[in-house]
Copies of this chain bind each other. A is one copy, B any other.
Amino acid sequence: MNFKGSLSLLILQILAGSASHGYNIAQQIKQQSQGVLTFKEGTLYPTLHSLEQQGLLTSYTEEEQGRTRRYYQLTKQGQKRLKKERQEWETFVDAVSQVLGEKI
């Protein structure tokens, strides 16, 4: 299955912890969700670019162990957006739960 629209929320949440680079963000999402949420590179990198273009993230590159990493961090706007998306997520889950008959 896979319910679409959660990736930006997840990225913002991960980066609320600390700045991180693409590959590591993907790993954190996978690990913290016990392997349930696994986004592909073809999804992740374009989404990061999009979030940066929207002003929700800023980025800088760093050379580490011979590898170039692009680190992303939340902006003020990104923090606001995270709060908003978390609320929308809760609203959505509650709404589906009610239809499914899992009264809250």
A residues lining the B interface (CB < 8 Å):
1-6, 9-10, 13-14, 29, 32-34, 36-37, 85-86, 88-89, 91-96, 98-101
| Beta-carbon contact of B10 and A1 below 8 Å | no
Residues of chain B lying within 8 A (CB to CB) of residue A86: 100
Copy number in the complex reads 2
Q: How far is the CA of A33 from the CA of B93 in the complex (A)?
A: 10
| Beta-carbon contact of A92 and B1 below 8 Å | yes
Can you list 18 pairs linking A and B with CB atoms under 8 Å apart?
A1-B5, A1-B85, A1-B88, A1-B89, A3-B89, A3-B92, A4-B5, A13-B100, A13-B101, A14-B99, A29-B99, A33-B96, A34-B98, A36-B94, A36-B95, A37-B92, A89-B100, A93-B93
Q: How far is the CA of A77 from the CA of B13 in the complex (A)?
A: 38
Residues of chain B lying within 8 A (CB to CB) of residue A91: 36
| Beta-carbon contact of B92 and A36 below 8 Å | yes
**Which of A85, A92, A99 has the most C-beta atoms of chain B within 10 angstroms of its own C-beta?**
A99
